Amino acid sequence: MTDSNKQANNKINNKEKSSLLTFLYVGSTANGFSEDTRRVFIINLFASVGVLFTFPLGIVSIWQGKTLLGCSLLAIAVLYSLNHIYLRHTHNHKLSGDFVIYPLYILMIYLVYTGGVNGTGHVWVYCIPAVALFLHGMKRGLIELAFFTLALIFVMYFMDSRFSEFGYHETLKSRILFSFIVVVFLSGIYEYSMSRFNQELKETTTKLKLYAYTDPLTGLFNRRGMLQRLELSAEKSIYLLLADVDFFKRINDEYGHDVGDYALTQLAKIFQESLPKEDDLVARWGGEEFLIAVCGQTEFEVFEFAETLRQRVASYEFSHLDLRFHMTLSFGIAVMNNTTSLREAITLADNRLYQAKRLGRNQTCRA
Ligand SMILES: Nc1nc2c(ncn2[C@@H]2O[C@H](COP(=O)(O)OP(=O)(O)OP(=O)(O)O)[C@@H](O)[C@H]2O)c(=O)[nH]1
């Protein structure tokens, strides 16, 4: 096979794979993989496998004159197909899971009671534990399985079922029961480890996201976190205030890096306390630079806010151990709106900050 043929085949295979996966994930609303997505996947997978088995078996049963059994199997096939459509439209995987599992419980009890085709009905009960635990989780799944086991005992031992008709040995009943409990146990272990794994994955992802978007020194958003928030913001106009500490190098040089770090954390606190609204944001943009984003204000109000903040910092006495010192800030302001993109606004704010520095520092520059 030539390379181009192989590539074409791979493309077709990938396409088939992706359309199958899309089909199995139909009804999932979550972005990325979550516990709910896993449940949706299991519902679709199980319902599809269910249709593939119940439909032909239903036809065969009707053909063999077992009308009731055949109709039950066909009813399940129809129900599972409709369930897929329901899940696709409503994304209600909880109810959809119930549509899969409860008819299955009833069908299994019916198969054990009647013996199914030539007394083979009981062999299907082993699919129950996995489906119940995967769909309903450990707690509810185990409770339902306990009830199902009781129903199984009742049907096998206390009802006038057709079990003995097929000449089974009495011990088969207890073997069915014990092997069923073993499968419940194994499925439980698997489900438990899967949910633990998913939970840990979720927690690790949350932690990693936090690390990725947070500045470790000040606890503020870092540049990545701020950009993400600004890009997702639905506000029509956001004012960006880029603030830079004047001659910060001197603080480090005179008092040491630790004192510099302390000054940056204090500044972060002052910025956070001073934000006009709860939705406003502040980030450590890098080094001794901070970016504040405020919305719902006029240009004049934003300028006034920057000036108040600048004066507040200028008059603030930073004190660390026995050291006392002052710092000043320079500000550059720009607005991000319909005509100015986020990147353009940041560049403008940066240019204006540079201008404030050139004009002598400790001041605010705007358009
Ligand atoms: N302590 C400390 N210092 C930092 C940190 N990040 C950057 N710096 C220091 O910030 C200083 C920035 O110096 P410059 O870029 O020369 O700016 P500046 O001294 O503030 O002067 P102007 O901005 O021109 O007013 C450097 O000495 C960096 O080492 C940090 O996380 N902690």
Q: Which domains does the chain have, with CATH numbers?
A: 3-209 (no CATH), 223-365 (3.30.70.270)
- Which residue has the least CA distance to atom 16 on ligand 1? 249
For the Cβ of 191 lying below 6 angstroms from any atom of ligand 1, the answer is: no
Is ligand 1 within 6 A of the CB of residue 264?
Answer: yes
Mutate to test the pocket of ligand 1, among 288, 310, 353, 363 (most ligand atoms within 8 A of CB): 288
Closest residue by Cα to residue 53 from 114, 131, 113:
131
What are the residues whose beta carbons fall under 8 Å from the beta carbon of 112, sequence distance 6 or more? Answer: 121, 122, 125, 152, 155, 156, 161, 163
**How does residue 32 score in pLDDT terms, banded at 50, 70 and 90?**
low
Our answer on whether the CB atom of 244 is closer than 6 Å to any ligand 1 atom is yes
* 344 flagged as catalytic: no
Q: Could you report the per-residue pLDDT of 40-99, keeping only the tens digit for each?
A: 888 888 888 889 999 999 999 899 888 988 998 999 999 999 988 888 888 888 888 899
Ligand 1: which of 215, 244, 246, 248 to mutate, judged by most atoms within 8 Å of the beta carbon? 248
Q: How far is the CA of 260 from the centre of ligand 1 (A)?
A: 9
Q: Are 58 and 70 spatial neighbours (Cβ–Cβ below 8 Å)?
A: yes
CA distance 63 to 66: 7
Query: For residue 3, what pLDDT band results from cuts at 50, 70 and 90?
Result: low
CB 58 within 8 A of CB 50: no
- Point out the least confidently predicted range of 5-9, 161-165, 243-247, 336-340: 5-9
The pLDDT value recorded for residue 348 is 97
User: pLDDT value at position 15?
Assistant: 56
Determine the pLDDT at residue 321.
Answer: 87
From the candidates 203, 288, 289, 299, which is the catalytic residue? Answer: 288
Pull the structure tokens for residue 166: 């097929």
Work out the angle at residue 221's Cα, subtended by the Cα atoms of residues 218 and 223, and round it to the nearest 5 degrees: 110
Q: Please tell me which of 109-123, 157-171, 297-311 the model is most confident about, judged by mean pLDDT.
A: 297-311
Side-chain half-sphere CA neighbours of 150 within 13 A? 6
- Lowest average pLDDT, out of 120-124, 152-156, 167-171, 175-179, goes to 167-171
User: What pairs with residue 324 in β-bridges?
Assistant: 319
Q: Determine the pLDDT at residue 316.
A: 96
Q: How far apart are CA 71 and CA 87, in angstroms?
A: 24
CA distance linking residue 332 with residue 354, whole number of Å: 8
Q: How far is the CA of 249 from the centre of ligand 1 (A)?
A: 5
Is the pLDDT higher at 236 or at 32? 236
Please give the distance, rounded to the nearest whole angstrom, from the Cα atom of residue 103 to the centre of ligand 1. Answer: 68
357 in ligand 1 pocket by Cβ < 6 Å?
A: yes
Cα–ligand 1 centroid distance for 269 (angstroms) = 18
Q: Quick: pLDDT tens for 282-322.
A: 999 999 999 999 998 999 999 999 999 999 999 999 999 88
Q: Which two tokens mark 350?
A: 């940066």
Which residues lie below 8 Å from residue 39, measured CB to CB, with a gap of 6+? 93, 97, 134, 135
Ligand 1 pocket check for 246: Cβ under 6 Å: yes
HSE-CB of 35 using CA atoms within 13 angstroms: 20
pLDDT, mean of residues 124-132: 93
Tell me which residue has its CA closest to atom 5 in ligand 1: 287
Longest dimension (CA), the chain: 102
- Gap from CA of 230 to ligand 1 centroid (Å): 25
Residue 17, pLDDT above cutoff 60: no
Tokens in use for 348?
């403008």
Among 13-27, 37-51, 124-138, whose mean pLDDT is lowest? 13-27
**Which strand (E) or helix (H) includes residue 46?**
helix 35-63
Q: Is 101 exposed, middle or buried (0-12, 13-18, 19+ CB in 10 A)?
A: buried
The pLDDT, as a whole number, for residue 120 is 84
Contacts for 335-339: CB closer than 8 Å, 24+ residues apart: 335/237, 335/238, 335/239, 335/240, 335/299, 335/367, 336/230, 336/237, 336/238, 336/239, 336/240, 337/236, 337/237, 337/238, 338/236, 338/237
